[in-house]
Structure 1
Amino acid sequence: MPKLSAASRHSVSFTVNGVARSVEVESRTLLTDALRHGLGMTGTHVGCEHGVCGSCTVAIDGTMARACLTLAVAAEGCDIRTVEGLGLGPGRLGVLQAAFKRHHALQCGFCTAGILMSLDTYLRRHPDPSREELTLVIGGHLCRCTGYAPIVAAALDAAAELRGAQKHPEETAHA
């Protein structure tokens, strides 16, 4: 990576949810700010800004990452997946999102985007997870509203559906 000064501006290009995007940022701009303010993608939330709460979790090249700890310039050329990329299309929930709805796995929703991204990333590599594995995955997220039991239940349900064990097609559209 070239030597960067704090005030210099750079064009950063990456793929977000399958679409090539570019954004002008200062060297010190965090990925959360580039996504939210530079690209208008507000699904990635900013919570603690220290990497503790997990609200800002995205997938970078298929790996969970805290966007509040990642400089936007470090994402140059990367494939980024955000919560906006989980849906099946406009107004259609993805499998994991629909399972969260069925299991009432969210209340205020602030932490939900990060939790969904961690679970989505994990389920892509581990399609048949145990309750204990999912508990560890979401252990890096702070949720003050739901508790974690409905979140784990939703993730188990979604994993089963993704494996073809059960179907809830009527639940995948927004009400």
Structure 2
Amino acid sequence: MKITLKVDGVEHKLDVDPRTTLLDALRDRLGITSTKKGCDHGQCGACTILLNGRRAVGCLALAVAHQDAEIVTAAGLADGDELHPLQKAFVEHDAFQCGYCTPGQIVSAVGMMQEAEEGWPSVVTEDPNAEQVELTDTEIAERMSGNLCRCAAYCNIVPAISEVANS
């Protein structure tokens, strides 16, 4: 099937098998390797992308279902050589060890901060009717729980996100 995807601001026309996931289309067809293949079951978050502005795991999304979608990967967050504030914070806080989960963590954090700004409550949100959710460490940890880190760098991931979210 022929589809068009806009990835990191660039339009791509692809001919894909209907069973191809967005993750496989990004990595295997477009060579965008910042999106990682971890569990391939939607459980680890290594393949997190922004799909039309919302967090999604690329391994569970079929490419053909997202014709003309706008996709942002970790590679697309930077502005040329200027890192995104969350990318900078992860470096400054040493919020990674092996780094495999880092792209998914950062993309997920970008989407999570937008959700909180829009007032989307989580199970730990104190006031579910608030127009904007305060991103405490507990709130960040809960909202990022779909992104796993095998190295357990959470003690640095949460402060890195908190610094950007609360600045």
Provide TM-score, normalisation by structure 2: 0.85
Shift of 1:105: 0.2
Paired amino acid for 2:95: A
Shift of 1:103: 0.4
What are structure 2's unaligned runs of at least 5 residues? 118-133
Contact 1:24 1:38 in 2 (8 A): no
Tell me the equivalent position of 2:124.
Answer: none
Structure 1 segments, 4+ long, off by >6 Å, are none
Deviations 1:15-56 (A, max 9, x none): 112222222210111111100111111100001100111100
Tell me the equivalent position of 2:63.
Answer: 72
Tell me the equivalent position of 1:131.
Answer: 137
In the alignment, the residues of structure 2 paired with residue 122 and residue 55 of structure 1 have an alpha-carbon distance, to the nearest angstrom, of 15
Paired amino acid for 2:143: V
Aligned counterpart in structure 2 of residue 25 of structure 1, from 5, 11, 16: 16
Equivalent runs, 1:155-170 vs 2, <5 Å = 155-161=161-167
What are structure 1's unaligned runs of at least 5 residues? 1-9, 162-175
Structure 1 window deviating more from structure 2 (147-156 vs 125-134): it is 125-134
1:34 and 2:40 correspond: no
Aligned counterpart in structure 2 of residue 13 of structure 1, from 4, 21, 24: 4
Instruction: Please give the root-mean-square deviation of Cα atoms over the aligned residues, in Å.
Output: 1.3
In the alignment, the residues of structure 2 paired with residue 124 and residue 19 of structure 1 have an alpha-carbon distance, to the nearest angstrom, of 23
In the alignment, the residues of structure 2 paired with residue 157 and residue 14 of structure 1 have an alpha-carbon distance, to the nearest angstrom, of 33
Count the aligned residue pairs: 151
In the alignment, the residues of structure 2 paired with residue 108 and residue 24 of structure 1 have an alpha-carbon distance, to the nearest angstrom, of 34
Provide TM-score, normalisation by structure 1: 0.81
In the alignment, the residues of structure 1 paired with residue 116 and residue 10 of structure 2 have an alpha-carbon distance, to the nearest angstrom, of 26
